[in-house]
Structure 1
């Protein structure tokens, strides 16, 4: 893959992708030295070796290692001259990023030990994010943001699953946990009642939490997530409308089409055939 760097600024979502990239270094590559602006930047070493200096610590990194840093930190990192590294990375922004990280064991660290399974999964998601943003560079920003959100939440789900604090009650209802649950179950027969039961709270408590944190009811959050995924499938797959309906949790194709039309302004088949200029004017309701 050729070197690539994508930047995006979103002020509308609590956690969003602010940048991603891929770069192959050379023996004479310049040293990266700067103060971090994003909430969290995560790097994966695809090959080669390199070095990281941050918070008075020095790390030697090799293939399959990950390293990361946080907003406000001064960092320096550079490649090994004999075995230059290749990196893939993403930056995360948004007011909920800090809350997400507080529920993991990653704060106050700059590297992490990954199991083989989580290592491969994170690499796969990072490639998906970078590849899609590189190949679909002309895609309308509103559609691109939906795709990035879906992939980013998948990345965060696996991070949370691997690095959740052992002292944390997984069933404690928080903004992040609710979104995690929906992201992992939207394709099944979930409902606000089932979500409330999972978190051992009443529907009324769940409703109040969702309204206060998201300004949406639990059902609206579920529906919005399903439609976001459906948008990505319509634009980037050959699945039939019926197959897409089933993939996003609708047993009834007609109910899916009716819901999609209400939110996106077009039925699924017409939406799939819109040109780029028409897609630019779409607003997610």
Structure 2
């Protein structure tokens, strides 16, 4: 059952296959509203594809998943309406030339335009501005971003933000829409140990306030709902090592970097490079428009 804010997430034998093979396969998830779900696995194992599939930005090809009351892959648009994306390279990239204030104003305007009714759009300008300001302030507090502490305050350009600050800004932008499910990619990429812990504390706080969070990472904290995209052979190697089995498990295979992307009613196949550095850009080429 859904909570007042977050959406429960479940999946059975969830998989996505593209022109070059399986991006991910056999995924099982059981997580209640307000859970912190960590998608763990090596780069190139389909982590980003799974994140986008669970938020309705890519169409799965095997099994089923449920987000709130909506089933995947049949109800992609409905899942998109209740989910938001924080930082996802190639999909939600921040414009380095824009300031923090410009990003926030643009997102609030878009949310007001696409979410509100005609009657809402006809409200007095002052009333609409107050609503936007409230949404922005609430999102910034939830993301832990103190704009006044930035080098130039709200006029600080994105290019001048530290990586953790940029992550907080991306999360704040997503939270302006008040999503029930928040997706965050590369949570622990290029962060120091202290920054990594701060990032996870941020996501724990968001989940504790009711929003379900799905976060991609290379190593999941112990207090999360862990979902692994590691290739089956690699998982077998880990299990063998953990149990002390003397048999050597070798020749672990990597999952193919490929996915079918879906945008509303259109399906498109996207070719993917096997180069890890290109995984995200290739996997989400069609998801940009979602």
Question: TM-score range with shorter-chain normalisation?
Answer: under 0.3
Q: Please identify the structure whose Cα radius of gyration is greater.
A: 1
TM-score by length of 1: 0.24
Structure number with the higher helix fraction is: 1
TM-score by length of 2: 0.24
